[in-house]
Amino acid sequence: MRTTPRFVTHIGSRSPSGASWSPEETNFSIFSREAIAVELLLYETADCDEPMQVITLDIEQQRTFFSWHVAVKKLPVGTYYTWRVQKPDGSWWEILDPWARAVSDKKWQRSLAVQKACNGLRGIVIDLRHTPAHLPVKPKSLEGAIIYEVHVGGFTRHPTSGVKYPNTFKGLIEKIPYLKALGITHVELLPVMAFDEQDAPEGVINLGHENYWGYSPYGFYAPHPSYCATSDPVHEFRELVQALHDADIGVLLDVVFNHTSEGGNGGPTIHFKALLDDIFYHRTHDRLHYRDYTGCGNTINCNHPLVTHFLVHCLEYWVNEMGVDGFRFDLASVFTRGEDGEVLANPSLPWSIELSRSLINTPIIAEAWDAAGLYQVGSFPGTRWAEWNGRYRDVMRRFVRGDRGLVDEVATCMTGSSDLYADDHRLPSSSVNFITCHDGFTLWDLVSHNDKHNMANGEENRDGTNDNLSWNCGVEGVTDDPHVLALRRKQARNFMAILFLSQGVPMFLAGDEFLHSQNGNNNAWCQNNETSWLNWELSEANKEMLRFVRELSAFRHRHRCLARPRYLTGRIDVTRGIPDIAWHGLQLNEPLWHDPESQVLAFTLAGYAQGEEDLHVIINMSDQAIDAPLPVIAQRRWYLAMDTAAPSPNDIIEWKKQPLIKSETQPVQARSIVVCEARERSSLALRFGRPKSD
């Protein structure tokens, strides 16, 4: 250890928190109500054993209220640092700065952090002054959005990805042309804030697995170092955001504000346990244990004013400095729990997020439940929050697998779940609709497995839900039966078609568009291997499915009536001369709302934009083919646009190739969906160049 200080220091300022660099000096500030002594340690590298300088802070001059601060002259960018704090019991802990804008990528030893220190997790001094010219931009609204859920690493980690920088932000940039061709409007990135890959049960670690999904954060302001190809994580992440914005794709972050990687009793001390343990986490009344509403050992005490400020400021940083467009919040019902764990009517964190000036236009999406049984889909506090609509997922899974008597629930879900959101003046875009996500079966596994197959996770198949609402089409898992495979592919098309034909915001899991499988693993959180990595050879092997999804995206973008800004009412659309929506069953205008055996639902949807075609959708999830009558609309003729029972490319037909339906009825095969477009005769002549008499 050096005996002479290398850098000159002075008192510094309590604000802002973290390390704030300028060419003249770097100001360091950290908040702690519990510390009785504090030191700043400066390191030359990420893995050197000894600091190059230890700076002891003067409690009289360098503690203002509960902030400890110091300024260091002429400190170079890229310097590594930690804090060392002494708690009232006399113990010393070397910790990571919770406000660090970048963290080291050294593989630290989690087990040793229980005894003495974070053991290698170090903040990095970053120059934040130089922001790319176009950052930040006005966030893209969820109205008309199509969300694509992506794991940054797994998207390009497989050898078949063909990228120069696999498993990184740069690798994702290389795939932007693919994303653009897919027709999505937003990527929703699984956690990219620095997370603890070692946070897993011992049995899981012993199998060579790790925390792959990233729901174990420790660096809320820092990009995950393993996703970086260079030593400048801030620039790399900004570069990704800018490239996506240049392609007109918005960036949503999956944010974990419900717990941290410090865990409960026996978990490591990384930062908050040493700095403000009694404030940052929910504790039992005797203060001896951590309340756990997350299933991860601890729960962030979100509605304490200091914690609320920390979390909201963090979001503002990712928007203002990193250019992010919006957020999805994991287990967001934790946000509604007060300091005693009870549910609050008006919790401060959700409202503070909603009302923040920096976040006022950003999409905010709640996973409106937690691991302790609190379920708030349709009742999450606030006015503009969107929600992952878990009820939509469950209803559609049951309906497509063949459950009967659900058409009324299906209709409600497909029109934006107004029963959940309209009564408090929310909009159809409040419902983020999904069939699959990272948590659960992939789309292909949903139609290939009745049961989960999670033995590879090392927890004896106890993990993951047992209630998948899936159907294997007659054979469990892998098969070469052509009839079963054909049915599975049709079921996959059915799920995707329903998703894209629903009001609200469709979201689908990366890889579902080319039928990626996890071999029946419905909880692949620890599988950083080919189980989870996308095999890009499937994009060729299942190119018909990929084409189908791309065409669905184009179809939805072309039909604004599928993403109306307000709820459908059934009233006559004065510009179209027909109701904005009309419901049918086996006969026109006779929906089977009260039939316990019903498996058929049809509806006619009036075009919304000028010149837009009306749509007629027929969904037959029964085992029998039907002849569905078509409504008569004056001066318009029906053309076949989609038939999920037909082979590609007739499963979804290009606009100019759609055949005229000359009959008054349309055959709909068992377990399939048909969509027709109604066009005015004058528009046919104009767009096809045919005579009006055609």
pLDDT, residue 686, reads 43
Tens digits of residue pLDDT in 516-557 = 999 999 999 999 999 999 999 999 999 999 999 999 999 999
Tens-place pLDDT, residues 554-576: 999 999 999 999 999 999 988 88
CA dihedral over 337, 339, 345, 349, signed as positive or negative = negative
pTM, 2 dp? 0.96
Whole-angstrom distance, CA of residue 98 vs CA of residue 275: 10
Using alpha carbons only, what angle is made at residue 178 by residues 176 and 180, rounded to the nearest 5 degrees? 70
Cα gap 155→187, rounded to integer Å: 12
Strands 67-73, 63-64: pairing is: antiparallel
- Rounded CA separation 177/162 (Å): 13
User: What whole-number distance in Å separates Cα of residue 405 and Cα of residue 45?
Assistant: 64
Walk me through the domains of the chain, giving residue ranges and CATH numbers: 9-124 (2.60.40.10), 147-560 (3.20.20.80), 569-688 (2.60.40.1180)
Q: Which of 367, 445, 613, 651 is catalytic?
A: 367
Q: Which one-letter amino acid corresponds to residue 654?
A: E
Give residue-wise pLDDT tens across range 453-507. Answer: 999 999 999 999 999 999 999 999 999 999 999 999 999 999 999 999 999 999 9
Q: Do 443 and 515 contact (CB within 8 A), yes or no?
A: yes
Average pLDDT over residues 156-166: 98
Is 47 an annotated catalytic residue?
A: no
Q: How confident is the model at residue 692 (pLDDT cuts 50, 70, 90)?
A: very low
Q: Is 375 helix (H, G, I), strand (E, B) or coil?
A: strand
Answer whether residue 291 shows pLDDT above 70: yes
Catalytic residue among 94, 199, 330, 512: 330
For the cut 50, the answer to whether the pLDDT of residue 687 exceeds it is no
Which tokens go with 472? Answer: 């294997």
- Structure token digits, residue 665: 């009825």
Render 380-436 in DSSP notation, one character per residue.
-SSSS-EEE-HHHHHHHHHHHHT-SS-HHHHHHHHBT-HHHHGGGT--GGGEEEES-
Q: What share of the chain is helix, strand, coil (3-state, %, to 5)?
A: 25, 20, 55
> What is the pairing mode between strands 80-86 and 18-21?
unpaired
| Per-residue model confidence as pLDDT tens digits over 648-660 | 999 999 999 999 9
pLDDT of 114 over the 80 cut: no
Answer with the residue of higher pLDDT: 423 or 583. 583
Backbone angles phi, psi at 245, to 5 degrees: -65, -40
Residue 484: CB partners within 8 Å, gap ≥ 6? 473, 474, 475
Q: Tokens 């008597």 appear where? A: 405
The SS3 of residue 82 is strand
**Helices 543-558 & 482-500 angle (0-180, nearest 10):** 20
Does the annotation mark 39 as catalytic?
no
Q: How many of the other CB atoms lie within 10 Å of CB of 497?
A: 26
